[in-house]
Structure 1
């Protein structure tokens, strides 16, 4: 099987590849060739280096998608995106990368299929940002998409295109609507949701963190470990079970910032909580206010997708996976 990972240098892409390196059969068939691309050249895990080709590619540039599809990958993961806060701040860049790049990929697949039969599986990283207020107490699978950000709009458009291209037999696609992934390793990024990770990640290593919203803000979370599980499960799922609605809200847990902080104290003690500094940011508050905060992802659960149910467990996963089990500076 040939596998193409777009956005392979990002957090989920890297962790997915690490899992494939540890458990080669996790994608359902032996991986014979692996193409890894991102705007900066990604690095393959050592165990996969012999079958991997790594390239620096901007999917939205002319001819980039066609070149990637010319090798006819059987399985494609598309993680590439300008994140929420940046997409809101830079309108042109957000639409170029998140919409034009995604559409170029779909069209390259369609063009390749016109030369000879070709129908790859495409797994797309979408987001809860496809939903917009006002919300019911819990958002079910039938709730409509009315995004209130450019990022959410871009994700929703690609979701619709994937469903239509799948309906027409051009590809076999699935859009994975991710919760906010927390705790994200590394440094803060431009995502408006970044503070949800910052207020946990930095205090765990003895560093201060800024909280720009009120403690009562509620959101929908899953760990990076769960996120990798979503994509590996999607790679092997019988998509006939999914039917024509090719977008699935992933399971997760709903928690307030106050509950996050309480879980941090449970895992790391009051000295970690004392490192959180409250600095209200009206821009971030406005963006977050339009996001959904609780779901009933019945379809995904019935299809076998799983995630954490306790925020302290999410923190413990971060400590185990990123800090070698150690807390403190």
Structure 2
């Protein structure tokens, strides 16, 4: 089976490349705007919207689509978000013509101020450009799967740690930055209160689920919310103190960040659980896997 991965030089993309190589998968095409270092598979630099690049990507048996414009950047430029976060996935859904497609969606489809608990019956009500475009893509995928026009899944990713410091375009970058500050024994101002809560996965855990979905033969029309650790930020900071010095951490809450990234209720994911998807087993395991590079 020949596989293509879009956004392959991003944070998650590079981890996917390592996982594919570790599993002995050889026939892989990687695409991104550019590659910082030569990858272990065939690389196709360029814009996915370029017809020549797009034609090569949809010529494979299965595609993992990771390329996206992050949430904060999408909010600042809705037209760019439409081009990247909506138009490209719609073209892929059509272009795969019944073959396998795994779409990376997002918990942003749920919006803010969620009632507890969130589960598979929770109705998405996006409150951002990014979340809205992701939800529109989910609906298009579900309709195509219903008609047999595509196989695969749309998987909703939670916060993934630890992204590189100051990850551009991600409003949730602080969730990764505090990992780096702890490891480097730096002072850090946490922009949400200790009682704030988020849904987090290590890159190792999310990549395992993405690749499992890609290599499986299962098709799910409705988007699947991936399992994640429901993390209280104060407990996370305390646990990070076991890998570095967090004595210089202080809290200064940004109410906007708290509303969007620090007010998540408990999460139940029975559909994902039934498919064998698993989150990091506990907070210590998440921290250990957060720097899986």
TM-score by length of 1: 0.81
1:260 to 236, 244, 249: 236
2:102 to 94, 109, 123: 123
For residues 198 and 140 of structure 1, do their structure 2 counterparts lie closer, same or farther at Cα, with a shift above 3 Å needed?
Answer: same
* Deviation per residue, 1:256-284 (Å, 9 max, x gap): 1111111112x235xx2133343443543
Q: Does residue 1:299 correspond to 2:271, yes or no?
A: yes
Q: Does residue 1:274 correspond to 2:244, yes or no?
A: no
The answer to whether the 8 A contact 2:200-2:228 is kept is yes
1:163 to 131, 142, 146: 142
Measure the CA separation in 2 of the matches of 1:155 and 1:174: 13
Structure 2: tracts of 5 or more residues without a match: none
* Deviation per residue, 1:213-259 (Å, 9 max, x gap): 2222111111111011111211233425x4x42x1111111011111
SS at match of 2:31: strand
2:69 to 82, 87, 95: 82
1:68 to 34, 39, 57: 57
Measure the CA separation in 1 of the matches of 2:232 and 2:267: 14
Paired residue for 2:192? 213
1:142 to 118, 121, 134: 121
Structure 1: tracts of 5 or more residues without a match: 25-29, 111-118, 323-329
Compare CA radii of gyration and give the structure with the larger one. Answer: 1
Query: Offset of 1:94 from its aligned partner?
Result: 1.6
Measure the CA separation in 1 of the matches of 2:131 and 2:198: 16
* Deviation per residue, 1:263-319 (Å, 9 max, x gap): 112x235xx213334344354344336x64431001111111111132222112235
TM-score by length of 2: 0.91
Aligned CA RMSD, in angstroms, stands at 2.2
The answer to whether the 8 A contact 1:181-1:224 is kept is yes
Query: Offset of 1:42 from its aligned partner?
Result: 6.0
Q: Does residue 1:99 correspond to 2:67, yes or no?
A: no
Report how many residues are paired: 293
